[in-house]
Amino acid sequence: MVNISPEELALELLNQCLRGNAYSSELLETLLRMALSADVQVARRASHALFATVVERLGDLFEPCLADCYAALFSEALEYALPNLRRVDVLDRYKRVRQPKKFNGNAARVRRVVVLSRVTLGADVAIGSLFVDAAKTAFPNAQILFAGPGKNHQLFAADPHIGHLEISYPREGTLSQRLAAYPSLKAALWRRDTIVLDPDSRLTQLGLLPVCDEENYFFFESRSYGDYTDDPLAALAHKWLKDTLGVEVHSFLDPHKGAPLADITVSLGVGDNPSKRIGGHFERSLMELLQGTGASVLVDRGGSPDEAVRVDSATIGLKNVKTWTGAFAPFADAITRSSFYCGYDSAGQHVAAASAVPLVAIFAGFPCQRFLSRWTPHGPGPRTIIVADPPDPNKVLEQAAAALATFSRG
């Protein structure tokens, strides 16, 4: 297998899992050896293949049996990368903690609750914010900490009661870099006075890494919870939190202000996944459509040079259209104060949904129907979901115009 690329290895591993066959431990070990190579370029390439092709695909399909397959495969990867962990112990623990359980302790006596970030901003809006609200509601006397990257904590940073435990997670890092935070995370969480709420976090590799005593660990295994229903993840999280902690929850966002206010907010971000985009002149046409309402428009330039170039190209020369360069949290605040939101499947749609802002969300490049259902924005406000499958720019623009007309009449 010397001449097999990491991409080919990862694809074959994925196909073995999808066919229902036992995956090849030999293939996995070869890929892991590359991912842990001293050659940084090799390690980065192999790690990307492992996560993007195998791990994320197994999760994005939302098939309960594939959650089991992921646990078996990645527990083996953890034993290989972290020799102090034994695969059998990791897997046995995972099988226990993934089972929903009620908190039966005295909530008033809990002194510290840590909510783990899901790392991506959209997931922390749609799901993580519910866990933060649940922590505040269920444990009124506890110190509440949000563990994760600083930019994610900024979604709640204006609330002085939500502290921050800085844990970085390089989404494009090597396997070693992604696991590097584990010792410090475990040291911070393995305390008798601490309850840990895990919404299926990448920090624990989706519940596999043991970070505290099991009795203090509450894990929402979002990839199989809800079985074969088509409920959105936010609705499933509501149910899980009600069953686990006995509280009704709401999306909780409290970012610092900073971005200018506008009637219409827009995000053209796709999370480094170009398949989510609508090609051709769609983005420019969309911006011209929004400008034609006469309303003020604010467009996020995003977090990557590519997105910034696309936004600048789509908005150049348009009146009443401004762009925002900076952190996402202030732009999220602008979304909550706007009257209409439009964008691809990304974090902004979940902010709008949580804030009852009328929205248009454009879904393209999704791997399966259940992915679309799970990540559909969920909230009290009106929303139009445009399914671009196939992604026909003219049809998508027509649907966006119809939704915008409804908004304008309202």
Condensed to tens digits (0 to 9), the pLDDT of residues 334-366 reads 999 999 999 999 999 999 999 999 999 999 999
User: What's the average model confidence in pLDDT over 189-208?
Assistant: 97
pLDDT digits over 22-55, tens only?
899 999 999 999 999 999 999 999 999 999 999 9
pLDDT digits over 374-409, tens only?
999 999 989 999 999 999 999 999 999 999 987 765
pTM for the predicted model, two decimal places: 0.95
Q: Is the pLDDT of residue 276 over 60?
A: yes
- Degrees, nearest 5: CA angle 233-49-23: 80
Q: Is the pLDDT of residue 287 over 70?
A: yes
> Residue 155 corresponds to which amino acid?
L
According to CATH, the topology of domain 264-409 is: Rossmann fold (3.40.50)
pLDDT digits over 251-264, tens only?
989 999 999 999 99
Q: Is the pLDDT of residue 153 over 60?
A: yes
Q: For residue 136, what are the contacts with CB-CB under 8 A and spacing of at least 6?
A: 144, 161, 162, 252
**What DSSP element (H or E) covers 300?**
strand 297-300
The residue count of the chain comes to 410
- Domain coordinates in residue numbering, the chain: 6-97, 107-245, 264-409
Closest among 230, 207, 117, 202 to 165, alpha carbons compared: 117
> What does the block give as tokens for 50?
């492992």
Do 264-409 and 107-245 fall under one CATH topology?
Answer: yes
Q: Is the pLDDT of residue 11 over 90?
A: yes
Give 146-162 as a DSSP string: EEE-HHHHTTTTT-TTE
Provide, rounded to the nearest whole percent, the portion of the chain with pLDDT above 70.
99
> What does the block give as tokens for 319?
């009146």
Distances (CA, A) of 347 to 115, 122, 270: 19, 4, 9
pLDDT at residue 129, rounded to an integer: 97
The helix/strand/coil state of 264 is strand
pLDDT at residue 1, rounded to an integer: 54
Q: What is the CATH number assigned to the segment(s) 107-245?
A: 3.40.50
pLDDT at residue 62, rounded to an integer: 96
How far apart, in whole angstroms, are the C-alpha atoms of residue 297 and residue 331? 12
Whether the CB-CB separation of 118 and 128 falls below 8 Å is answered with yes
pLDDT at residue 408, rounded to an integer: 63
Residue 95 burial class via C-beta count within 10 angstroms: exposed 0-12, middle 13-18, buried 19 and up = exposed
Distances (CA, A) of 137 to 107, 198, 232, 318: 10, 16, 23, 45
The helix/strand/coil state of 273 is coil
Q: Which residue is associated with the tokens 């909550």?
A: 336
User: What's the average model confidence in pLDDT over 182-196?
Assistant: 96
User: What's the average model confidence in pLDDT over 147-176?
Assistant: 96
pLDDT at residue 2, rounded to an integer: 57
Q: Is the pLDDT of residue 296 over 60?
A: yes
The helix/strand/coil state of 391 is coil
Q: Is the pLDDT of residue 410 over 60?
A: no
- Averaged pLDDT score across all residues of the chain: 95
